[in-house]
Amino acid sequence: MAEERWPNSARAAVALTMDNMGEAADLNRGLWPVDVPIGSHPSVTKSIPRMLALLAKYTIPATYFIESWNLSVYPDVIADQIAAAGVEIAWHAWQHEPWGKLSADEERENFEKSFGESGIAGFIGKGGKGEGKVVQYRGFRPPGGIVHGERTLKLCKEFGLGYISPAAQEAALVQEGIVVLPFRWQTVDAFFYMKEFAGLRKMKQEYGEDAQGPEVLVERFCREVDDAIERGGYVSLLFHPFLTDREERFEAMEKVLKYLEKKREEGSIWLARDKEIEEWIQAHPQAVGNDPGWDNSSWR
């Protein structure tokens, strides 16, 4: 009998993921007003609790890629709300730096700061807020979706990462023994909601340059899940708390979760956190190929 590709004979592996936290990205881009205090961003105080409650309602496991800068700004939220809810804490750079634009020195510095005492090591180390609640990063999603090939993979290996989640087409096991668990731009909420993504929508010849509504997102996310089932692959669905700030968008997320619940009950999909999918692929390398189909398109 051939070995099953995914656990319990599921036809696809699906990861529900989240990106970005608090003020990190705006600070990095110089968009945060200098006279506005940090530490109480509405996406943290309002959106994240609602999203966590929704995940619990449908028993959906999730992975949240968080900038390491947030570990000292929102330690209680990360340890006592997000991690306590069973959500995997993964890495999203120090302060949402556009990864594809980093020099070799800047890339290494970002790793060292994020993994050091200012970052996750201090957070989970002796006396850290995350001690016993958060574990060492296992995965990395580069802001902007682009990595620097072998240079980035070697750093991932050096710092103990098992997987990366860049923009690409398929899950894969690549050099350095790193698993690629990619996102496609068509499964990112920002691709639909943000006017700044007009150029990328045009480049992909998807939906035109105008921002799209939640109903379009729901249709496409569900279609991408169906496509993953059809090809026997992996798909990552990506929601940003700062974009899940309107009732109609929150309702759209719930519709997607209901669809995932349905497909799980049918036995069609395996819903898991990315670190569990990485562990499965490491133990069952025949489940994927070695070419993720890297996507180096940029929205900026």
pTM (two decimals)? 0.97
Quote the pLDDT of residue 127: 84
Pairing of strands 179-180, 234-239: unpaired
Quote the pLDDT of residue 153: 97
Question: Greater confidence, 300 or 21?
Answer: 21
Smallest CA-to-CA distance from 129 within 74, 48, 203, 192 is with: 74
Judged by DSSP in three states, 101 sits in helix
Judged by DSSP in three states, 212 sits in coil
Quote the pLDDT of residue 1: 38
Q: Compute the C-alpha angle 242/234/135, nearest 5°.
A: 60
Q: What is the average per-residue pLDDT within 142-154?
A: 97
Given a cut of 70, is residue 54 above it in pLDDT? yes
Given a cut of 90, is residue 55 above it in pLDDT? yes
What single-letter amino acid sits at 277? I
**Which two three-digit tokens encode residue 204?**
């992909």
Separation of alpha carbons 108 and 120, rounded Å: 15
Given a cut of 60, is residue 2 above it in pLDDT? no
Pairing of strands 269-271, 139-140: unpaired
Contacts of 93 (CB under 8 A, 6+ apart): 67, 68, 99, 110, 114, 142, 143
CB 139 within 8 A of CB 275: yes
Separation of alpha carbons 287 and 299, rounded Å: 31
Separation of alpha carbons 62 and 86, rounded Å: 8
Give the DSSP per-residue string, 8-62.
GG-SEEEEEEEE--TTHHHHHTT-S-TTS-SS--HIIIIIHHHHHHHHHHTT--E
Average pLDDT in the chain: 96
Question: For 3-7, 21-25, 249-253, which range has the lowest pLDDT when averaged over its residues?
Answer: 3-7
**Which two three-digit tokens encode residue 25?**
């990205």
Q: Which CATH class is domain 7-287?
A: alpha beta
Contacts of 36 (CB under 8 A, 6+ apart): none
Contacts of 171 (CB under 8 A, 6+ apart): 13, 179, 180, 181, 182, 233, 234, 277, 281, 287, 288, 292
What single-letter amino acid sits at 287? A
Specify burial of residue 227 (Cβ count, 10 A radius: 0-12, 13-18, 19+).
middle
Separation of alpha carbons 186 and 76, rounded Å: 33
Specify burial of residue 133 (Cβ count, 10 A radius: 0-12, 13-18, 19+).
middle
Given a cut of 60, is residue 102 above it in pLDDT? yes
What single-letter amino acid sits at 221? F
Specify burial of residue 176 (Cβ count, 10 A radius: 0-12, 13-18, 19+).
middle
Q: What is the average per-residue pLDDT within 23-47?
A: 96
223-264 pLDDT tens trace: 999 999 999 999 999 999 999 999 999 999 999 999 999 999
Per-domain residue ranges for the chain?
7-287
Separation of alpha carbons 111 and 113, rounded Å: 6
Given a cut of 80, is residue 87 above it in pLDDT? yes
